[in-house]
Structure 1
Amino acid sequence: MFTSTNPATGQQISTHEELTAAQIEEKLDKAATAYQQWRTSSLEERSALLNRLADQYESQKDRLATMATQEMGKTYASSVAEVQKCAAAFRYYAEHGPAMLEPENIELSNGNKALAQWLPQGPVLAVMPWNFPFWQAVRFLAPTIMAGNVGLLKHASIVQGVGALMEEMVLAADGPEGLFQNLAIKSGAVADIIADERIVAVTLTGSEGAGMAVAEQAGRHLKKVVLELGGSDPFIVMPSADLDDAVSKAVTGRIQNTGQSCICAKRLIVHADIHDAFLEKYSEAMKAVTTGDPMDANTDMGPLSSFEQRDTVLSQLESAKKAGATLLFGGEALPGDGAFMSPGILVNVPPSSDLMAEEIFGPVMMAFKVADIDEAIKLANDIPFGLGSSVWTTEPAEQERFIRDIEAGMTAVNQIVASSPEAPFGGIKRSGHGRELGPYGLHEFMNLKTVLLPPAS
């Protein structure tokens, strides 16, 4: 049994039955059957379904957004934006997907010709988190449909309502039965599903531990895996930056989704020449953040996704303080029935602190002072993660250094890191491997078949 609890009120919303072994088997059979139908569908059929799905998300955005806010606490405004982003992703693949799947003509040295052709492979399992409950899953779903594959979603326990709604939307858009199914299962059931011969690949967004477990099982069965794991993204500010703009974006970059995003700015790295002035402005802006009812349009930041998640963040902060770090302000549980906490800033974090190798999934920024660009890059890279990075400078030479030398899958220049349907998304090091979105995300789970054409007579 899964229980959905509103983290803003602590009140139970709904319950969802866990699938039995027999029900899982039935869903795997449906997926295999649906694949045999969908694999031969035309690109026009796939585009049409994606456009109908976009219509569903747009027409049902209030209902979908309310579910996300009630189940995991993000502000209603950000939930609406997330749903609209999903619709944009469906339309992106509907419009551009067919061209991405065009065969490539190859001239061989012996005078013959070949084709490189993209073909579907089968049912793909997605293991997804709660923090962007629609968007994370749509990043997998949209290219899956366009590719001619089918999808099975193991969603996070606390957002089973979202998972059920996503399956409903595909059916409402006249998608074939079995094309996309939500699996109401717990983590312990994932290994056997990965092992099942009907599953051809798996994609996961989540923690390092979950990524290692999924990758190990996929490796045992020689199945392709894409992992988007944690991050501790640097937000680097150099003297030439527009400080007011950087301050504003650093606040947004840290508190968006109550700090519960892999690509949130988590480590503020500021050049010594502007450090004190920047930190003063940043502190004032963080203290001005409005925390409260996520359904209220005037709220900047809602609760954390659960009391358990808040306790995890509070425990991390206590550990850092014991190691010698200083909490300038905030970072405290707020009174009331919800899982709220105040935004804060942590300074003097020693290299020996566990936080230097962990991800803070909550609205507390670690702040550091550096003497020059070399120290900034060294500190940015001195972590096991390599997901995103945000750099603030108007100097072209500095921009080039950051782009070349920061060890990350993404670097944003004078803006915060964000995902987009058109651009590849993913990380390196312990932040995972493989890419989502853009043509790269479409091709990840496809068979690039070489076709040797008959010689010309």
Structure 2
Amino acid sequence: MTDFTSCNPATGELVFTRQAWTAEQLDGALQRLAGARHPWSRLSVGQRAQKLLGLADELTRVRLELAQLITLEVGKRTVECLAEIDKSVQLIRYYAELAPKLLEAIPIQTHASKSGVAFEPLGQVLAIMPWNYPVWQVLRFAVPALMAGNTCLVKPAPVVPQSTAKLLDCVREAGLDVLDVAWIMHEHVETAVRASDAVAFTGSTSTGRIIASLAGRHLKKTVLELGGSNPFIVLADADVEAAAREAVHSRFRDAGQSCNAAKRMILVPQIAEDFIRCFVEEASRLSPGDPTQESTTLAPMTRADLRAHLHHQVTDALHNGASLLLGGTLPAGPGFFYPATVLDNVNAACRVYHEEVFGPVASLIRARDEEDAIRIANDTPFGLGASLYTADTEHGWHLARQIEAGSVFVNRHTSSDLRLPFGGVKASGYGRELSEFGLYEFVNVKTYWQK
């Protein structure tokens, strides 16, 4: 792929192509951002917040139009796209209120007459972004980085040019010349890394390793939010029907194309059969179709190659001892649809046990007991999020501490909250976004000391 090209996932039809930048065009953007850097960093945090609140107003104004573009390019249901934009607006308003307090210098008493820490911008932050949340992912990184006084350069995924261009229109309407989009392909990424002071990447673990290596060669700070194979543990005393409903919602929202969704349902023997019955009943009600229609409850996948990869994972699981309870067949007809699929008796011989499954496929894994459930939850290279269902919340918290993940939710599916840090461990990356921790990722925590 040499251009930015989007296809309608519901039909498979090409809808838009945008030519990628040359090296000279990238250099021009880098120079423009360099010129905007110092004036922006010299504004007060409150002044920067007011500018970003203008972006929130613009996003609200074009809310439906932008959501329809995301549906057209990504295939997500329009109602899910509207929720993405609304959450992005909430993010801006959250940091506009929070950042002025958290970025104030903190005096620390020492034997000096004056000492403490100040929070200063690093400079320019490059973000290499995925396609599944083309507004939320960009702003989740950019808003705190901009609040801290940095400038931001965004390299979008090649399949979302219209959504990205509309977001950029909003940025420019708000008068923010400190966030720009680099319409570059992979051959120019190193130039952008070298010209930046830090790098944020969201995407696959394999690409994350490449970006980390590249940034390391140039000694650039990185934050990586990578893949996940999130466990969803159901214990013997759990509310099985409620857990099954939550599991289906988490696994199949956004056509299962979310790093933070439940991926592996880990079941103790006492509730396994009841949970599976409820889960399959709930999943069988999902209705694929036109993602612009409210009656559709299962969107198409975004790309044909992703669907083919997913189907290979399913056939491998069936070959290695898993059993098919629902779905699992490639549908005829246009678009990149894949049915809600449920695999039972998934075991360590199956690829879906070890790999991230990025699509509407649920893996049911049977544990011997509670201890074995925790072992299975940790038997993965990933460590993004996890869920655990039990009536004994104190015991749930005790078990949550044993799970190797960036976040654990007791009696709730994995999600992100503006007020809480988001990120992973192991092959799910490092660094944090959201909350005060996300605000501090791209600042220089500078010690000051005066005799």
The TM tier, using the shorter chain, reads: over 0.9
In 2, the alpha carbon distance for the partners of 1:400 and 1:440 equals 22
In 1, the alpha carbon distance for the partners of 2:395 and 2:371 equals 10
CA deviations over 1:197-231 (Å, ceiling 9, x no partner) = xx000000001111000000111111100000000
Give the superposition deviation at 1:115.
1.8
Structure 1: any 5+ residue segments left out of the alignment?
none
Does structure 2 conserve the Cα–Cα contact (< 8 Å) formed by 1:259 and 1:363?
Answer: yes
In 1, the alpha carbon distance for the partners of 2:112 and 2:32 equals 45
In 2, the alpha carbon distance for the partners of 1:302 and 1:117 equals 47
* Among 63, 71, 76, the residue aligned to 1:74: 76
Q: How many corresponding residue pairs?
A: 449
User: Within the alignment, does 1:297 sit opposite 2:298 as a pair?
Assistant: no
Does structure 2 conserve the Cα–Cα contact (< 8 Å) formed by 1:425 and 1:435?
Answer: yes
**TM-score, normalising length from structure 1?**
0.96
Q: Which residue of 1 aligns with 2:184?
A: 185
CA deviations over 1:219-256 (Å, ceiling 9, x no partner) = 11111000000000001111222222111111101001
Q: Which residue of 1 aligns with 2:29?
A: 27
Q: Which residue of 2 aligns with 1:8?
A: 10
Give the superposition deviation at 1:184.
1.2
User: Within the alignment, does 1:399 sit opposite 2:396 as a pair?
Assistant: yes
In 2, the alpha carbon distance for the partners of 1:336 and 1:184 equals 33
Q: Which residue of 1 aligns with 2:216?
A: 219
Q: Which residue of 1 aligns with 2:225?
A: 228
Q: Which residue of 1 aligns with 2:194?
A: 195
Question: Which runs of structure 2 are paired with 1:56-455 in the superposition (5 Å)?
Answer: 56-108=58-110, 110=111, 112-175=113-176, 177=177, 179-196=178-195, 199-453=196-450, 455=451
Give the superposition deviation at 1:326.
2.1
Give the superposition deviation at 1:397.
4.0
Does structure 2 conserve the Cα–Cα contact (< 8 Å) formed by 1:118 and 1:446?
Answer: yes
SS in 2 for 1:294: coil
Q: Which residue identity does 1:43 align to in structure 2?
A: V
CA deviations over 1:379-422 (Å, ceiling 9, x no partner) = 00000000000111121342122221000000011111111222
Give the superposition deviation at 1:111.
5.0
CA deviations over 1:152-209 (Å, ceiling 9, x no partner) = 111111011122122111111121x3x111111112321222123xx00000000111
Q: Which residue identity does 1:77 align to in structure 2?
A: V
In 2, the alpha carbon distance for the partners of 1:265 and 1:68 equals 23
Structure 2: any 5+ residue segments left out of the alignment?
none
Q: Which residue identity does 2:51 align to in structure 1?
A: L
Does structure 2 conserve the Cα–Cα contact (< 8 Å) formed by 1:50 and 1:93?
Answer: no
CA deviations over 1:33-64 (Å, ceiling 9, x no partner) = 11121111111211101211111111110011
In 2, the alpha carbon distance for the partners of 1:56 and 1:419 equals 23
What is the alpha-carbon root mean square deviation over aligned residues?
Answer: 1.2
SS in 1 for 2:108: strand
In 2, the alpha carbon distance for the partners of 1:396 and 1:193 equals 47
- Answer with 249-258 or 347-356: which moved more: 347-356
Give the superposition deviation at 1:321.
2.1
In 1, the alpha carbon distance for the partners of 2:417 and 2:98 equals 14
- Answer with 185-194 or 227-236: which moved more: 185-194
SS in 2 for 1:227: strand
Q: Which residue identity does 1:34 align to in structure 2?
A: A
In 2, the alpha carbon distance for the partners of 1:327 and 1:225 equals 41
